[in-house]
Structure 1
Amino acid sequence: MMRMGFLKLVLLLVLVSLQGHILMGTSSEDASSIQLNDDVLGLIVFKSDIQDPYSYLQSWNEDDNSPCSWKFVQCNPETGRVYQLSLDGLGLSGKLGRGLEKLQHLKVLSLSYNNISGNISPQLGLITGLEKLNLTHNSLSGRIPSLLANVMSSIRFLDLSENSLSGPLPDDLFRSCTSLRYLSLAGNMLEGPIPSTLLTCFSLNNLNLSRNHFSGEPKFASGIWLLKRLRTLDLSVNAFPGPIPQGVLGLHNLKELLLQGNHFSGSVPLDIGLCPHLSRLDLRDNLFTGALPNSLSMLRSISFISLSNNMLTSEFPVWFSNISTLEYVDFSNNGLTGSLPSSIGDLKSLEYLSLSNNKLTGIIPTSLVYCTKLSVIRLRGNSFNGSIPEGLFDLGLEEVDFSGNGFMGSIPPGSSRLFESLRILDLSSNNLTGNITAEIGLFANLRYLNVSWNNLQSRMPPEIGYLQSLRELDLRNSELHGSIPGDICESGSLDILQLDGNSLSGPIPEEIGNCSSLYLLSLSHNNLSGSIPKSISKLNKLKVLKLESNELSGEIPQELGKIESLVAVNVSYNRLIGRIPVGGVFPSLDQSALQGNLGICSPLLKGPCKMNVPKPLVIDPDSYYKHRQRNESSDDPATSRDHRMFLSVSSIIAIIAAVLIAFGVIVISLLNVSARRRLAFVDTAVESMCSSSSKSASLAPTGKLILFDSRSSSADWVINAESLLQKASEIGGGVFGTVYKVSLGSHEGRILAFKKLITSNIIQNPGDFEREIRVLGKARHPNLISLEGYYWTSQMQLLVSEYAPNGSLQAKLHERLPFAPLFSWVHRFKIIFGTAKGLAHLHHSFRPPIIHYNIKPSNILLDENYNPKISDFGLARLVTKLDKHVMISNRFQSALGYVAPELTCQSLRVSEKCDIYGFGVLILEVVTGRRAVEYGEDNVVILSDHVRVLLEEGNALECVDTSMGDFPEDEVLPVLKLALVCASQIPSSRPSMAEVVQILQVIKTPLPQRMELF
């Protein structure tokens, strides 16, 4: 049946190709009738290339004389010809064939939100009357065909966004675009400059080129501003460089100007203020410097303005509060100085205000309480002082972040409105005093509460347990006293509980076992006593347990060894004794996690080992009778008397020895306690000195975590690095450091990966570090692990990146379980192709190019759809001060088999060709399922040499991994040949990554077969 359907299709195609000859021999009426069949034939041919899993196109029947009754097809009632085809969101897949070119009366073609792949058919350019083409949200790849320029004279709406299109735009694509009103190419992998012909599209109202890799000289910028009818201009997340020319901005009708995430530099253009209708201005994540231009005060219609993550330096503008239409303001991560004007209360529409990480001083004006619509206010990392205005907590705030300032006084009382709205409250690292009142339990939706590093001198109110939505509670170093409330986990929703560095006393409540969601429990540096509750073993999600520097006694419950999720434990400097648990993480603990106790039994520790239960006394039941018989058998009274005397002396000696031993134990114990207290005193003094020094420099006592993505619930926050790294288990490591999985529980459940760099004693300049990180942060591509932020102190640097849930390619290839799903050729080719595109972006979109140095399967991570993500790119830029020989030696060891031969033979001459060699070996590993180097009992197998020999013998397919199931030989064999070319011993013989991408496109979609079909 399938073969008959295919033959029928071929006959239809032949009929289409011969139709012009048939028309020459028919009357006009017959010709009109046959022309009507063009639409039927074209749509049937189009359908033949499409997979329709839900049978939406079931009504399309090739035997019909007209398609006008078909679903999703609309015809012109006068001509009877198809003028609109709308197949949006039907789950279609497949490719765009040649059938659509027959629909010569088509005006609207909309195939959005499907999964159509392959290239955009050049034949679409033959539909000369097309007015709307919408292919957004598909899986189209390759270049935009130059033939598409043929429809530009008629087209008004063109949307090719959210695909995988690549390469530069054709130079003549917009040679005739006078009708074009809407153009969106967003969310692709397009690159290069924008064709100058785009500037002739004078009717453009909406231009969206965001989230690509476009670049261009400033002369492009000076031209695009001449498109007078533009209402929306979105060039965000590209690589446009240089300053925006002053005096050329003539977009007087502009409503939205979105330039974020580029390399724009220089001053913010003065004439932006000449756009009277501008309602949205986004210039964040660029390199703008200087002062905010006063001309911005002329934007009387603006509601959204973001200038965050630039290098602006000026006093906070007084005119800011004159723009009464403002709803969203983000000036964070700049160098703004001065204080907030008292007129800020005039911003009656303001909903979002972020001024974090500037150099602002003074008090918060009390007039801010008149901004009655305010829901988010972030002032962290400045030098504000004074008290927090009480009326501010009468507003319906959802997020308050005042951390890292110098606020004094008490925490203002809440209001019924705030009790319902507040979700995030961060007042950490200030000088606040007073009590945490019982009303804290009224915040029904509070998810994150942090008042650490203050001087509250308060008890912990038991009402904290009433917070049903609380996910993270941080009360560290806040001078808290009293006991831990037993119902602190009444809600059961708490993920993180940090109470370190206080004066809490009494036992750890047994009810702590009710914290079923807890994965970080940190109670260190308090005065807690009693035993460790066995109920902690109920916390089956617990990853980190910190109980050091308390007065805890007894044995560590053996049940704690059953917590499989536990990855870090510290019980040092307590009064614990006995054996440590035999299961879980405990056998692998190091000395620092156990030291400073009275008698824990561990081979890591020196000193006495004390058991809680005394050893049983073994008695011989016949000893009394034997002793009596011996006495009775003695006829010599002197002997009997001497014997009795001997027993008395022995008893006396034993008693004296026992007393001396007990006295010695007491003395040693007292000395240990004294030494421990002296050590605690020194630690406290050092901590106090560090804290005082830190506060005198207007810095928090911990490092600063910066997240680039301002869409997260908190763009940046001050953290303690140790606690951060212990929030997640270690998931990997490499040449540059160790990787941890971190869930920002208080930030909408966001999961990220944190890499702790090994260069803590090398990178001492935060400016250099930040500059390099922000350059790497600009490297955005669907096949690169995006850098989301960083953490810096002089002792520790962390890189924050996106988390890939499917692990590494290394695990998929070499650590698969027997019951794991099939790792098919479709997935493998997708990984090869995506990795090639990611490397091509690094090599060809940056000057100088970014060289990875270490391409191997463990650095290829996979998202939930098996899309590859290259990690660890560009990190060598951060560690240039390291000893090169040490670095290269380590790299050779970690990437054995992937290192280009020229690196081992010459003086470390590194180029893009080194990456291409590693990529070639990686292809071989993906196709064969074998490691780059395999060691036998008496031989070593180099994978590239092994495959090359099989290829020369004509047996290359014998090395293909059989576990992938069926595979197309016409794809696998060319891929193997490409791999060997990439892994050539001669660097000049290796292709560029751009050429590799093109070759892989040809392999996946063989053009000869397509031409043969049509």
Structure 2
Amino acid sequence: MTMHFLELFLFSLLISLSTITANSSPNLQLNDDVLGLIVFKSHLHDPYSNLQSWNEDDDSPCSWEFIQCNPSTKRVTHITLDNLSLSGKIATKGLQKLTSLKTLSLSNNNFTLTTLSPESSSALSLITPSLEKLNLSRNGFTGEIPTSLPNATCSLKFLDVSWNSFSGQIPDGFFESCSSLRFVSFAGNSLQGSIPRSITLSPSLSYLNLSSNRFSGDFPDFANGYVSLTRLRVLDLSHNALSGFIPKGISLIHNLKELKLQGNRFSGNLPVGTGLCPHLSKLDLSDNLFTGSIPDSLHLLNSLTFLSLSNNMFTGDLPNWIGNISSLEYLDLSRNGFTGVLPLSIGDLKSLNYLSVADNKLIGSIPISLMYSTELSVIRLRGNAFNGSIPEGLFDLGLNEVDFSGNELSGFIPSGSSKIFESLRVLDLSRNKLSGDIPAELGLFSKLTYLNLSWNGLHSRIPPELGYFQNLTVLDLRNAALFGSIPGDICDSGSLGILQLDGNSLTGPIPQDIGNCSSLYLLSLSYNSLTSSIPQSISKLNKLKILKLESNQLSGEIPQELGKLENLLAVNISYNRLTGRLPVGSIFQTLDQSSLEGNLGICSPLLKGPCKMNVPKPLVLDPHAYDNQMGGGQKPQGESENFSHHSKFLSVSAIVAISAAVVIIVGVVVISLVNVSARRRLMFMDNALESMCSSSTRSGSILATGKLVLFDKKAPLDWTSSSPESLLGKAAEISGGIFGTVYRATLGEGGGRKAVVAIKKLVTSNIIQYPEDFDREVRILGKARHPNLVPLKGYYWAPQLQFLVSDFAPNGSLQARLHERPKYSTPPLSWPTRFKIVLGTAKGLAYLHHSCRPPIIHYNIKPSNILLDENFNPKISDFGLARLIKKLDKHVMSSRFQSALGYVAPELACQSLRVNEKCDIYGFGVLILELLTGRRPVEYGEDNMVILSDHVRVTLEHGNVLECVDPEMNEYPEEEVLPVLKLALVCTSQIPSSRPSMAEVVQILQVIKTPVPQRMDPF
């Protein structure tokens, strides 16, 4: 109330001062600026007190921080409030008093559309007749671009509203109103429709950025309008859904310097006149569908420094004139169908820093002329058919990355010179025909992080100098015809994360110094001739996840200390000469037969044959020595020594066995009672939700007090003919859950088009009741954007009804695909599709846990909340809805969320445990099991109950875990399915701290799919 009265007072004072006289004196005009800024400040939330110098008692604002004035008139001309973490309402009435204001910059703050004053229908209503520069980038503004601006005159020259959440189309009237625009950026929003042709009505336009939106249709055909864009320097239409051909008229924009069209669906040949833009310095056409050959006119682009044609369908030979573009610094022609040889003229590119022709069909030798491109930093030639030797001169350059993998190169590995020793970070020569020794000089590459020489015929020892690497994280020498022993100092640096030496002829023991590899998470030494015992020092590798020692000649017992490695997910020690007991703990008690077979005498019920123990006989003590010493009586006559020993045995072993049995029985009873109780609560919740939804639908006065906010709509919905309640009544109900009921609705997008959306009507019980708080929380969720999340399009709020609008998934939920599909009309999910769903879901959760601040915890991970798009990419829905609950206490967690029977982590029902993102990881583990087995997490028989995670764990212990795999998945690679199943069991650990983080889960899954992750995908 105090703020409200202050606002009224200030506005009254402003009006009174303005009406004293039309021609105010300089002092009164100055007061207008002071009071206007004070009104503007009074609505802001300034957490770091950056505006404390703004004092209403001052006569002039010109000395205030972030303010600039005209020296002659003393009027405010510039307000620059970038990067100050400001939020609150933007008082447009206060800004309108600043009649000389030319620049308003609010970039990188926390403003939203709802923080504008009520009279502002769009953030662009901040444009005043005098304003020349408006920067609202990197905030949370939403809404649509107005057809025309509120002011009759528009002097705007600079407009940047990038990286907000604007939606709808850009109307032609916008550029008609502001014909003086020079710089325009709408990048990073949710704009749709076609690109307006009225852009040509801004002849002063020099920079236009419409990237990272949802524009569709053909490339804008401005007809003769290209001629009017004489000042256009930068045109960025990248990362949209544009299609069709590139018009020939593009060559008429003679002053164009940057043309960025990557990440669209453009097709056809490049126009012959593409090279007629003499000032073009950057041309990016990557990730499209272009075909044909490179037009010869490109050799005319003498100013070109950046050229990327990667990931298209270009064909033909690489032209020899490529060396004529002498200014080129970046050249990427990868992932096309180019043939022929790499032209010798490539060495004429003296400024070239980045070269990639990877994944084409190029042949011939690597041109020696490349050594004359002395500025080269990255060179990628992988996935072609290059032959011959590697030019030694290349290793005299200051290269950062060399990737020649997947070719037919032969000869020796160049030793290099001091320049490359100090620069090289990635060296990949795998899958070639290289021979000879591994140069000892490789140990001098001080910055090397990735070294892959696998699948060659080196016939070399591992040089001990490799231990000198200080930053190496991946060392892959698989199947390289290596012999000799493993150097003891191979891990002296401590930075190695992956060590793979499989498929060689290595002999001798595994060095004890292997325990120095403190960062190691993948150790693979299989298919060699290693001898002696497994070193106890491996137990120091606390980060180790995969251990592969199969097919060697290792002997002795497995060190019991390896049972302390809690992060192990996969172990294979088969076909060695090992004996004795398996370590207690970690994954060793759940290893299957394939990981143990082929040894001399490992003690496991899964293996047939003798169990050999290399331990001395135990020391036998007189069981009556203690009694005799204490003066006890003699044994009764007739009682044998055997009976005495048997009695002693029963007194210990029998008690332990009985105690264990009692604990197991009690545990089974408790779990059964919890699950039965949870089922009853689920039925109760369903009935309660049904009654809540029906009662909310009957209310008839909601529309008058409701508010609809759309983040992602082309045109506002017409609510005059139907209310939200009737809209939901007409839509088909899809599903129900603990937060509400989901409906499928068809809405108009404008232009006669229709869009199918999903509407979730929220359960009103315990939901935030204040619209400002509700809006804030929903907008936080709306900013969470990831390929594996269902994006929010908007929301509707009324006291008795709230619903969320999001994208509709055409392939439904994972729940429906697994358990509700028609058996004879819909094929089962294949293993690649199931793995895609597992990995995509993991990446989505990793984004919520690690990229959102604060982290967003889902609390309800299950197949019904995993939706599938047209390509079966998983989309996580209902994420973060717990933020909309007024009070998320332990009681709520233990009652409300346990309706997701079988997916709920144990700590959600335990008052003493801290609830965090680990509960999502538990649900994710159950989801993996359900996806791989095709079974529900809890199944009920006539007289028993089967918990899926327990069932899989038991079958794994008995060595027949593959019997759990969904029989409808006919073909699958065991080497991938088994580690994924084991990962699921680790994720469902009863102890939260024993579960990995989602970032670790993503990394593990990528290792399982691709044993050597050269460049891991981010989540």
TM-score of the pair, normalised by structure 1? 0.64
Structure 1 residues 924 and 432: CA distance shift in structure 2, 3 A: closer
Query: 1:828, CA displacement in angstroms?
Result: 5.2
Which of 30, 33, 37 is equivalent to 2:31? 37
Select the residue among 90, 94, 100 that pairs with 2:95: 100
Match of 1:371 in 2: 373
1:230 corresponds to? 232
Unmatched tracts of structure 2, length 5 or more: 625-710, 714-738, 741-772, 795-806, 816-840, 902-914, 917-1019
Structure 1 residue 91 and structure 2 residue 66: aligned? Answer: no
Q: Residue 410 of structure 1 is aligned with which of 412, 419, 431?
A: 412
**Partner SS state of residue 65, structure 2:** coil
Evaluate the alpha carbon distance shift between residue 222 and residue 594 of structure 1 in structure 2; reply closer, same or farther with a 3 A threshold.
farther
- Compared CA separation, residues 530 and 118, structure 1 to 2 (3 A): same
The one-letter code matched in structure 2 to 1:181 is R
Alpha-carbon offset, residue 414 of structure 1: 1.0
Q: How many residues align?
A: 708
Residue of structure 1 in register with 2:14 after alignment: 16
Offset at residue 525 of structure 1 (A): 0.6
In the TM superposition, residue 9 of structure 1 has moved relative to its aligned partner by 2.6
**Residue 864 to residue 222, structure 1, CA distance change in 2 (3 Å):** farther
Alignment partner, residue 67 of structure 1: 61
Aligned counterparts of 2:564 and 2:882: Cα–Cα separation in 1: 42
* Corresponding residue number in structure 2 for 1:217: 218
Matches within 5 A, 1:619-658: none
User: Which fold has the larger relative contact order, with Cα–Cα distance below 8 Å and residues 6 or more apart in sequence?
Assistant: 2
- Deviation at 1:364? 1.0
Q: Which amino acid aligns with 1:854?
A: S
Deviation at 1:388, TM superposition (A): 0.9
- Once residues 827 and 125 of structure 1 are traced to their aligned partners in structure 2, the CA distance between those partners, rounded to angstroms, is 22
Residues 482 and 503 in structure 1, CA contact (< 8 A), matched pair in contact too: yes
Change (3 A) 1:221 1:850: farther
- In structure 1, how many angstroms separate the alpha carbons of the residues matched to 2:127 and 2:345? 61
Counterpart Cα distance in 1 of 2:895 and 2:305: 68
Paired residue secondary structure (2:177): coil
Q: Distance in 2 between matches of 1:561 and 1:366?
A: 54
Distance (Å, rounded) in 2 between the aligned partners of 1:466 and 1:894? 48
- Given residue 866 of structure 1, which amino acid in structure 2 is its aligned partner? C
Deviation, 1:184, is: 1.2
Q: Deviation at 1:172? A: 1.4
Amino acid at match of 1:282: D
Contact 1:380 1:401 in 2 (8 A): yes
Who is 2:753 aligned against? none
Name the CA distance, whole Å, in 2 between partners of 1:216 and 1:457.
57
Partner of 1:535: 537
SS of equivalent residue, structure 1 residue 183: strand
**Secondary structure, aligned partner of 2:307:** strand
Query: 105, 108, 118: which one pairs with 1:110?
Result: 105
- TM-superposed deviation, 1:921: 13
Aligned amino acid, residue 8 of structure 1? L
More deviation, 441-450/148-157? 148-157
1:144 positional shift: 3.4
Equivalent in 371, 386, 389 of residue 387 of structure 1? 389
Query: The residue matched to 2:316 in structure 1 has which SS?
Result: coil
Instruction: Return the alpha-carbon distance in structure 2 between the equivalents of residues 499 and 527 of structure 1.
Output: 12
Q: Distance in 1 between matches of 2:2 and 2:865?
A: 51
Is contact 2:782–2:793 with CA below 8 Å preserved after alignment? no
Equivalent residue runs for 1:532-571 within 5 Å: 532-571=534-573
One of 862, 887, 890 as aligned partner of 2:848: 862
What is residue 178 of structure 1 aligned with on the other side?
A: 179
Cα distance between partner residues in 2 of 1:169 and 1:523: 60
Structure 1 partner of 2:1007: none
Deviation at 1:251, TM superposition (A): 1.1
SS in 2 for 1:240: strand
Q: Residues 302, 140 of structure 1: CA spacing in aligned structure 2 closer, same or farther, 3 A cutoff?
A: same
Letter in 1 for 2:538: I
Q: Match of 1:143, as an amino acid?
A: E
Q: Aligned ranges for residues 691-702 of structure 1 at < 5 Å?
A: none
| Structure 1 residues 95 and 589, CA gap change in structure 2 (3 angstroms) | farther
Contact 1:831–1:866, Cα closer than 8 Å, also in 2: no
Deviations 1:950-969, CA, capped at 9 Å, x for gaps: xxxxxxxxxxxxx99xxxxx
More displaced stretch, 70-79 vs 849-858 = 849-858
Counterpart secondary structure, 1:249: helix
For 2:160, the equivalent position in structure 1 comes to 159
Alignment of 1:666-705 (within 5 A): none
Q: 1:585-984 to 2 correspondence within 5 Å?
A: 585-616=587-618, 829-830=778-779, 832-834=781-783, 839=790, 851=810, 853-854=812-813, 862=848, 864=850, 866=852, 895=863
Provide the rounded CA distance (Å) in 2 between the counterparts of 1:855 and 1:924: 24
Deviations 1:434-477 (A, max 9, x none): 00122121111111110000000101110100111211100000
* Secondary structure of the structure 1 residue equivalent to 2:409: strand
Distance, in Å, in 2 between the alignment partners of 1:130 and 1:215 is 32
* Structure 1 pair 221–583 and aligned structure 2 pair: CA distance change class (3 A): farther
Residues 723-747 of structure 1 show CA distances to partners (whole Å, capped at 9, x for unaligned) of xxxxxxxxxxxxxxxxxxxxxxxxx
The C-alpha deviation readout for 1:343-402, integer Å capped at 9, x for no partner, is 222111111110000000011112221111111110000001111111111111111100
8 Å contact kept, 2:782–2:791: no
CA distance in 2, matches of 1:516, 1:549: 25
Cα contact 1:934–1:941 (8 A) shared by 2: no
For residue 620 of structure 1, report the CA deviation from its aligned partner: 9.1
Q: Deviations over 1:412-448 (max 9, x none)?
A: 2211111111111100000001001221211111111
What amino acid maps onto 2:38 in structure 1?
I
**Matched residue, 1:483:** 485
Distance 1:300 1:897, change over 3 A: closer
Report 1:419-458 matches (<5 A).
Answer: 419-458=421-460
Q: Distance in 1 between matches of 2:367 and 2:880?
A: 63
**What residue identity is the alignment partner of 2:451?**
L
- Say if 1:828 and 1:137 are closer, same or farther in 2 by CA, change over 3 A: closer
2:262 to 260, 263, 280: 260
Structure 1's 918 and 219: CA in aligned 2 closer, same or farther, altered over 3 A?
Answer: closer
The alpha-carbon distance between structure 1 residues 570 and 110, as it changes in their structure 2 partners (threshold 3 A), is same
CA displacement at 1:207 relative to structure 2: 1.0
| Distance across 2 between alignment mates of 1:930 and 1:72 | 44
Q: What SS does structure 2 have at the residue aligned with 1:133? A: strand
Q: What is the deviation of 1:840?
A: 6.2
1:294 aligns with 2:296: yes
User: Using the alignment, how far apart are the partners of 1:221 and 1:13 within structure 2?
Assistant: 47
Shift in alpha-carbon separation, 1:267–1:221, aligned structure 2, 3 A: farther
SS in 1 for 2:778: helix
Letter in 1 for 2:469: L
Amino acid paired to 1:853? G
2:250·2:274 contact (CA, 8 Å) conserved in 1? no
What's the % identity of the aligned pairs? 57
After superposition, the Cα gap between the structure-2 partners of 1:337 and 1:510, relative to the gap in structure 1 and judged at 3 Å, is same
Cα displacement string for residues 692-746 of structure 1 (whole angstroms, at most 9, x for unaligned residues): xxxxxxxxxxxxxxxxxxxxxxxxxxxxxxxxxxxxxxxxxxxxxxxxxxxxxxx
Contact 1:362 1:386 in 2 (8 A): yes
| Paired position in structure 2 for 1:283 | 285
Aligned partners of 2:53 and 2:417: how far apart in 1? 62
Rounded to whole Å, the distance in 2 between the matches of 1:179 and 1:296 is 33
**Cα distance between partner residues in 1 of 2:458 and 2:785:** 56
**Which deviations, in whole Å up to 9, do the C-alpha atoms of 1:934-993 show, x marking residues without a partner?**
9999xx9799xxxxxxxxxxxxxxxxxxx99xxxxxxxxxxxxxxxxxxxxxxxxxxxxx
SS in 2 for 1:494: coil
Cα root mean square deviation, aligned? 4.1
Q: CA deviation at 1:491?
A: 1.2
Name the aligned partner's letter for residue 848 of structure 2.
L
- Inter-CA distance 412–831: structure 2 relative to 1 (3 Å threshold): same
Change (3 A) 1:282 1:841: farther
In the TM superposition, residue 217 of structure 1 has moved relative to its aligned partner by: 2.9
Partner of 2:538, secondary structure, is helix
Aligned partner of residue 408 in structure 1, secondary structure: strand
Distance 1:85 1:828 in 2: 29
